[in-house]
Amino acid sequence: MAVWRQIENTLAEEIAGGRLQAGERLPTELQLAERFGVNRHTIRRAVSTLVERGLLRVEQGRGTFVQDNAIDYAISKRTRFSQNMARQNLSSDVDILSVDLLPVSAELAGLLALQPGEEVHRIRTLSRVELRVVDYATMFFPAARFPGLPEVYYRHRSVTRTLQHFGVQDYTRRFTRVTARLPDAEVVDYLGIPKNRPVLHVKSLNVDPAGVPVQYGVTHFNGDLVQLVMED
């Protein structure tokens, strides 16, 4: 048996037996190379295979970790990121990557009930739970109805509180469409995942109590860290 395969099996057995705990950071390549008496290339091959098997995950800038239980992300009529995490006693935060004011595309015009020539606010974000990046999202809001929305979102970092600022006290999910697909280079970079690892690609539309669309979003979830739970 190839040496790298022997190392892969040894580490897999240590994970299964609990010697390497869920969520634990793996020793560095150099430390593992010294332990097994091999070069770093051999360690890298064994570790990459364990990542492909879903037993390990790589977090850019942090290291390699034993895969742990996925975070439950509830999808319901009232899906709220911060509330989802708070009820599991998990810390969370949102990084704003960019904001733009764009002319509405034909697809967005149909989804957000807008006319050609109108504009939308586009906000791109990264969401973290317990310091781990769990999703990369792009959100669209009707600009005429929500003037100055990016500035409000910068203050609150919450869709719920931002919409409340504009008088939308409640909103519900009209639809959620989930597919699994391979990530493009941008998603790989933001989520810090292997390019051959599928992500959960979620499209959603939120509407106000009168049924008028207020937000459309496309979110890429790290499937290693998140499991979507459909609720009534």
Question: What are the tokens at 184?
Answer: 């493009």
Question: What are the tokens at 144?
Answer: 């005429």
Better pLDDT: 48 or 197: 48
Q: Output DSSP code: residue 197.
A: S
For residue 232, pLDDT over 70 is answered with no
3-66 is a CATH 1.10.10.10 domain: yes
Question: 110-142 pLDDT, tens per residue?
Answer: 999 999 999 999 999 999 988 888 999 999 999
> H-type helices in 92-148, by residue range?
106-112
pTM (predicted TM-score): 0.75
Question: What are the tokens at 109?
Answer: 């015009």
In the prediction, which pLDDT does 75 show? Answer: 85
Phi-psi region of 89 (alpha: psi -120 to 50; beta: other; left: phi over 0): left
In the prediction, which pLDDT does 6 show? Answer: 95
Question: 76-111 pLDDT, tens per residue?
Answer: 888 788 887 887 778 889 999 999 999 999 999 999
For 71-230, the fitting CATH number among 3.40.1410.10, 3.30.565.10, 3.20.20.140, 3.40.50.10140 is 3.40.1410.10
Q: What whole-number distance in Å separates Cα of residue 175 and Cα of residue 188?
A: 26
177-199: buried (b, 16+ CB within 10 Å) or exposed (e) per residue?
Answer: eeeeeebeeebbebbbbeeebeb
Q: Sketch the domain layout of the chain as residue ranges.
A: 3-66, 71-230
